[in-house]
Amino acid sequence: MTRKLEGQKALVTGASSGIGKAIAIEMGRAGADVVINYLSGDDKANQLAGEISQSFQVKAIAHKADVSRDSEVQAMFERMRAELGRIDILVNNAGLQKDAAFDEMTLEQWNTVIGVNLTGQFLCAREAIRSFKRQGILEQISRAMGKIVCISSVHEVIPWAGHVNYAASKGGVMMMMKSVAQEVAHLRIRVNSICPGAIRTPINHEAWETAGAYETLMKLVPYKRIGEPEDIARAAIWLASDDSDYVTGVSLFVDGGMLLYPGFESGG
């Protein structure tokens, strides 16, 4: 891959595992300096930062912060501005599940998932847009004033029994992303989402780690393989680069066809 993001500064939330980790690595490979936000596990995050900076000769900083807390998000962006000078790309990736049958779901389970998956994306996107507006466009590195990539899910449109808080959070991400995209397009700020299908990460390990579970999962995937974090990372690099300069307000489904109603594969 060419260094399409040379000189740009990217922040990836929830970047010490799974999809976020793969995106942080690809950002470095594409030439961007990168802030690796993480919630826990200092050693793992610092090791990843070291590997990225060594492999790709970019700056990589691990920064611990809970994206659902305003003060921690503010402090993270302040550090990024102090150490890297600016921000060009935000990848809103941090997310979690707290599954329960709807009538057994606690308010805490509801609030935690909405707080991280939706409010966390709001807090980071708001801070990124404030920074983009202060900085202005730097034509040498990008045609856009800034780029935001939200990691949503196929569950922004597919209802999900037993995971109502999660599906509601991702449905919220969809309308937040599109409304913000509409509001800031005239500034040349691009805001898009990637909607992963089933990707092999810790969040859903019980859906793929045994042969039986994998077989059941494949009934939902027309392309008949699980997605890998790198499938999402490559799409994120495209959405962050000028290759997608005319793309904003879009939900890009990277899902092996999960949205193709596989139950109707044989005619229904």
Of the candidates 3, 14, 265, 5, the one whose C-alpha atom is nearest the C-alpha of residue 124 is 14
- Residues in 3-22 that interact with ligand NAD by CB under 6 A: 13-14, 16-20
What is the contact mask toward ligand NAD in residues 156 to 195, using x (rule: CB under 6 A)?
Answer: ----------------------------------------
Instruction: Determine the interface stretch with ligand NAD among 53-61, 73-81, 101-109, 199-207 (rule: CB under 6 A).
Output: 199-207
| Residue 153 interacting with ligand NAD (CB under 6 A) | yes
| Site residues (CB under 6 A) for ligand NAD, limited to 97-126 | 116, 120
91: left (phi over 0), alpha (psi -120 to 50) or beta: beta
Residue 233: both structure tokens together: 């990372």
Q: Does 74 bind ligand NAD (CB under 6 A)?
A: no
**Window contacting ligand NAD (CB under 6 A); options: 27-35, 89-97, 124-132, 137-145:** 89-97
Report the 10 Å Cβ neighbour count for 216: 12
Listed ranges 101-109, 133-141, 201-209, 244-252: which one lies at the site for ligand NAD (CB under 6 A): 201-209
Q: Edge-to-edge strands of the sheet including 60-64?
A: 60-64, 33-38, 9-12, 89-92, 146-151, 189-196, 251-254
Angstrom distance (rounded) from CA 241 to CA 239? 6
The footprint of ligand NAD on this chain (CB under 6 A) covers a number of residues equal to 27
Other CB atoms within 10 Å distance of the CB of residue 45: 24
CB of 117 to ligand NAD, least distance (A): 6
Which residues are CB-neighbours of 3 under 8 A, at least 6 positions away? 29, 30, 31
Closer CB to ligand NAD, residue 56 or residue 253? Answer: 253
Question: In sequence order, what are the beta bridge partners of 146?
Answer: 189
Cα dist from 217 to 168, 228, 231, 257, whole Å: 22, 14, 18, 13
Residue 23 in tokens: 């995106």
Q: In terms of CB distance, is 57 or 106 closer to ligand NAD?
A: 106
Which residue numbers are catalytic? 166
Judged by CB under 6 A, the chain residues 35 through 54 that form the site for ligand NAD are 37, 39
Q: Does the footprint of ligand NAD cover residue 254 (CB under 6 A)?
A: no
Q: Which residues bind ligand NAD (CB under 6 A)?
A: 13-14, 16-20, 37, 39, 66-68, 93-96, 116, 120, 151, 153, 196, 198-199, 201-204
